[in-house]
Structure 1
Amino acid sequence: MYQVYSIDHSLYCAKLRLALRTKGLEWSDVPPPSDYLSWVPTGNLPALVDGDLTLTDSEAIAEYLEEKHPTPAMLPQGIIPRAKCRELSRLHDTRLEPALRLLFRNVAPTTRIPSEIEAAHIEITKRLTALSTLLDQSPLPRDRLWLSDCGLIVTLEWLDIMEAHAVLPLLHWSDTVRSYRSQMQALPQVATELAFYRPHMAEWMDSKRTP
């Protein structure tokens, strides 16, 4: 059994759990100890412990698990489909999620900075447009979960809850992105993870909104 250092509301911890669930692996979630930085200098969460190995960065962990447990595959066969899968992963980790992150300190109504929310809205809109185009071009079938889907699914949930709590002005969700999200939510491991994760998202939002 793997040990995963995580916190319940973390987006990237949820991203990793989707990979673990898809692989059918067993793990235990534990909170980071007080001396976490002494042996994980970056402070990154999640961190996976596998025997003597401690590995951080959700993408690095997911690719490690893919190589160690190749079935069911979460990277497609062929150099081009794999490249397109990684392209979507990088869009999430380096473009879409950082744009979402701009909102996290603006959840409390009394301390919101309108200029930051406006900047986040512009950036998120741009990245959702790029996501829609890349999904239209993607050769990956949507009847299964790929590594590139894990982060996107969770970030789209956060965008939805930010809209619902009026932190974020309404976005334009293209038909492509809506369809993609619905198809992903219908997958059993995704439904299981979201049933676990959504209450923690809501709890975190409430904690930030309550004086």
Structure 2
Amino acid sequence: MAYTGEEVKHKLKLYSYWRSSCGHRVRIALNLKGIEYEYIPVNLPKGEQFHPDFMKINPMGTVPALVDGDVVITDSFAIIMYLDEKYPEPPLLPRDLHKRALNYQVASIVSSSIQPHQNLPVIRYIEEKTNAEEKIAWINNAIRKGYAALEKLLVNCSGKYATGDEIYLADLFLVAQIHGAMIKFKIGVEPYPTLAKCYESYKELSVFEDAVPAKQPDAPAPMI
């Protein structure tokens, strides 16, 4: 179902950066819901997230930020839950309580136990205090530890996707994390069969492929 007309009286604005995995998962949610939105790039390496105009939108100076009329939401998890409640089709959470809890767990592991350890300010700080080798070791440890936990969590409950044969919340967090780690840090999911299977399934869907970082308006042109 695409939300137009009465359901969306004004176009939503998404402030993001093409390589942000948090922004990536929000773009997938918008695509799944069929919601049109305006993409407004915020160049993180250039420090545009700390510009006074953007700090008025998000005092934390992070992306993504969603503006829906007078409503401003600045956390990817909160944005996705807001979208799911305002635009309930297709649902991002299963009715089954166990599967719903699994989706929350996957999202939490990615957003709190993996993704923060690979944020640009964190890895820059690690390198400044130690060296490039220690920085890489830090990133590898955080990501692989999280992947091992996700593999054990999902191995007996996955279907075509993370928690069955329907796309849910867990899939948004999983695909953005896997894709980002592969592109930024050359860390794949080959040692984790369940994660690898899910990732291959995501690549078959346009709502996922259209959201990849390289296809965003602020992504650099490919090298020829």
Q: Taking structure 2 as the reference length, what is the TM-score of the superposition?
A: 0.75
Aligned equivalent of 1:160, options 166, 178, 182: 182
1:192 maps onto 2:210 in alignment: yes
Q: CA RMSD in A?
A: 3.0
Matched, 1:146 2:146: no
Partner of 1:65: 83
- Superposition misfits of 4+ residues, deviation over 3 angstroms: 31-34, 99-106, 137-141, 199-204
Encode CA deviations 1:15-53: one digit per residue, 9 max, x unaligned.
Answer: 100000000011001135641113421223111111111
Quote the sequence identity (%).
Answer: 28
Q: Deviations over 1:79-134 (max 9, x none)?
A: 2211111110001101121233378549x9xx961112112222222111111111
TM-score relative to the length of structure 1: 0.80
Q: For 1:24-103, what aligned pairs fall within 5 Å after superposition?
A: 24-31=34-41, 34-101=52-119
Displacement after TM superposition at 1:162 (Å): 3.6
What CA distance in whole angstroms lies between the structure 2 residues aligned with 1:67 and 1:8?
26
Q: Which residue of 2 aligns with 1:17?
A: 27
How many angstroms apart in 1 are the aligned matches of 2:211 and 2:185? Answer: 21
Q: Give the distance between the partners of 1:57 and 1:180, measured in 2 at CA.
A: 25
Structure 2 CA distance for aligned equivalents of residues 101 and 118 of structure 1: 14
Q: Judging changes above 3 Å, is the alpha-carbon distance between structure 1 residues 67 and 199 closer, same or farther for their aligned structure 2 residues?
A: closer
Q: Which runs of 5+ in 1 are unaligned?
A: 207-211
User: Which structure carries more helix by proportion?
Assistant: 1
- C-alpha change, 1:133 and 1:4, in structure 2 (3 Å) is same
Q: What SS does structure 2 have at the residue aligned with 1:4?
A: strand
Deviations 1:167-194 (A, max 9, x none): x6x7753222211110122122112222
The size of the alignment, in residue pairs, is 196
